[in-house]
Structure 1
Amino acid sequence: MKAGIRRTSASVILVAPNEGTSKDYKLLMLKRSDTTAVVLNQTVFPGGLLDEADESVAWLQYFEEFGVPQKELRRLVLISNDRPAILAPQGTGCYDRFFKNTIIWSREITLRLNAIRECFEEVGVLLCRSHEDLKDFGPVASLQNVPNLKSWQQRVHNKPSEFLTLCRELKVVPDLWGLHEWSAWTSPGFMRKGYETVFFMAFVNSQPNLLAEPSEVKETLWSTPIEFLRMTKLGEIWLLPPQIYELSRLMGVKTYTSLLDFAVKRSALGTTMFVPVTYECEGRMVFVLPGDDFYVPEPHLVREIISFPGTLEEFKSRSKQIHRYTSEGSVFNVELNFTPPNNHLKPLKFLQERQKL
């Protein structure tokens, strides 16, 4: 089978304290418009495709003009031999050149620009820092008010390079330091077209006012991880596996502060690309992930669904290390029985967590 097309994208898991309490938190998700959704009520975190404007050298020049210290950009870059391709430096050369006038870019920066721009385009939230905010490169993202928000949102939506124009106009820079590397996913190999997506997590001090871009967004939703999963089970929203997986592992973190602390520390440990390898067991689909006994050394080369000669139960009985998800109607069941890669959170089963409440 011919290799499928994988388009590069980035998303933001935006976290805000629950109104009226200092303990728990809510996440922002949005329902895709009927013209852009894969199915009715498809619900996602804000995000979208990487644009050439996100990789413009003009951004690096602007950071320098604005007075952003090079060391603050460099500390966003993780140097490791096992970085996934989506987060590897682009072009030829080395990381040491990424702040110069060159086409060589650090993806840790361009994908953050991508995610911040898309968040503004889709819901009108501008995660940027002013000169005053640059006095402290803290982990909580800064929010900026935008005069003539609707007009600017449409300008950036229609022409992504206008995002730099907006930043110049408001005298702000995208808050790269408020985005914490969280995870990375690739669409299953049997899909002819798909995405490679990096998820970043960003924390704000309060829920910002939203302006949904009508051609892309039907509805915005603030809720808890377990409530989003409940809505999925009831058929009120429809989630793809990456969103279900991320919500499943967030169920175990109960407070805003503990999630912020975890996200900041974990982001320095890198990311393992989750490339699902798909098996069929008597009509049931199983998607195995890194570390599973049925995972393969080069998952990106697997372009077809692998047939397993047995039941789902037999497939599971032949595995000691389990890291996979299976479909049960409209809900995916996530299983992981060992320490997650990159010291990440272990996903919880929705029904088990409901019984604790």
Structure 2
Amino acid sequence: MTKTPSTPHLSATVLIIRDGETAPEVLMVKRHYQIDFAAGALVFPGGKTNDEDSSPDWDPYTDGDFGPVQQDARIAAVREAFEESGLLLARHENRRGPGAPLVGPEISEKLAPHRGAVDRREESFLELIRDNGLVLALDSLIHFGHWITPEMMPKRFDTHFYLAPAPADQIAAHDGRETTDAVWLGANDALDMELAGKATIIFPTRMNLVKLARGTSVAEAAERFGAEPIVTVLPQAGKTDAGEPCLFIPEEAGYGQTVELLSRVNV
């Protein structure tokens, strides 16, 4: 009897980048070892959407209009970045608009004590933003990737990846609940850490690090990836010519790799 695949949950992940000495650095957080998904792995801030992310009440408090799925996912990406790292991709309501500066550390530090309560759904992220005269800078997020968990997995996610320049002068800090560390790494440095056995990085994260490594600066990466089409990746289970279990992804997705051994998937 064929088992019906579970419905993937809409999710969002954000690669927050800043210029490093030789290449962009991306913010990565280390998942708590007691989390049920990707425990102990280095990941980008992100997670599942919730019902408030899709509330029409957000409309006056967001810059950019992207339609229901993209709007919801972008709101979730900003919320998750705030919860997991303390970075807030937002603007003052009276200084809003595409390209306007993001809030500085005085605002992110003021709102930092609310991170845990927002994460636990004890406080409303929408009300926090509204009551502090802010709007979410959804337009600052560049659509970077779209991955759907393979159909044979019991827990599935429909995840949109976004690229976002880091807010100037805001300080990133892990939340101590879902994440135990927050670090800025060059994409190739993170990949080298995994190769050396110093970090666990799951397949979609690894592939998006490979893609990010093509960027030479924040400005160049924003221009390059903002112009590239997004091809949905739904890995398909199969076997290599040598009979090894693997996942196949479409060549047109642009990751420079189409086969991944299941032994390297790390989930």
After superposition, give the CA deviation of every residue in 1:151-200 in whole Å (9 maximum; x if it has no partner). Answer: 21122112176111111222001111111111100111111222110001
8 Å CA contact 2:15, 2:26 repeated in 1: yes
Q: Call closer, same or farther: CA 1:208–1:147 in 2, change over 3 Å.
A: closer
Instruction: Measure how far apart 1:148 and its partner are.
Output: 4.3
* Secondary structure, aligned partner of 1:273: coil
After superposition, give the CA deviation of every residue in 1:4-54 in whole Å (9 maximum; x if it has no partner). Answer: 241210010101122xx4x63200111100111545531111000100010
**Which one of the candidate residues 243, 263, 279 is aligned to 2:205?**
243
1:14 is matched with 16
Equivalent runs, 1:164-313 vs 2, <5 Å: 164-204=126-166, 206=168, 208-266=170-228, 269=229, 271-281=230-240, 282-291=242-251
1:94 is matched with none
Q: Call closer, same or farther: CA 1:127–1:212 in 2, change over 3 Å.
A: same
The structure with the largest alpha-carbon Rg is 1
**TM-score, normalisation: structure 1:** 0.66
| Letter aligned with residue 290 of structure 1 | P
Identical columns (%): 21
Q: Call closer, same or farther: CA 1:140–1:250 in 2, change over 3 Å.
A: farther
After superposition, give the CA deviation of every residue in 1:310-333 in whole Å (9 maximum; x if it has no partner). Answer: xxxxxxxxxxxx95122396589x
Q: How many residues are treated as equivalent by the alignment?
A: 259
Q: Call closer, same or farther: CA 1:166–1:264 in 2, change over 3 Å.
A: same
* Secondary structure, aligned partner of 2:174: coil
Where do 5+ consecutive residues of structure 1 fail to align?
Answer: 78-105, 293-321, 333-357
| Letter aligned with residue 19 of structure 2 | P
Cα distance in 2, alignment partners of residues 58 and 117 from structure 1: 15
Q: Call closer, same or farther: CA 1:26–1:202 in 2, change over 3 Å.
A: same
* Secondary structure, aligned partner of 2:227: helix
Q: Call closer, same or farther: CA 1:45–1:169 in 2, change over 3 Å.
A: same
8 Å CA contact 1:54, 1:110 repeated in 2: yes
* Secondary structure, aligned partner of 2:261: strand
Where do 5+ consecutive residues of structure 2 fail to align?
Answer: none
2:94 matches 1:137: no
Instruction: Measure how far apart 1:291 and its partner are.
Output: 4.7
Q: Call closer, same or farther: CA 1:139–1:133 in 2, change over 3 Å.
A: closer
* Secondary structure, aligned partner of 1:111: helix
Higher RCO, Cα 8 Å, sep 6+:
2
* Secondary structure, aligned partner of 1:153: helix
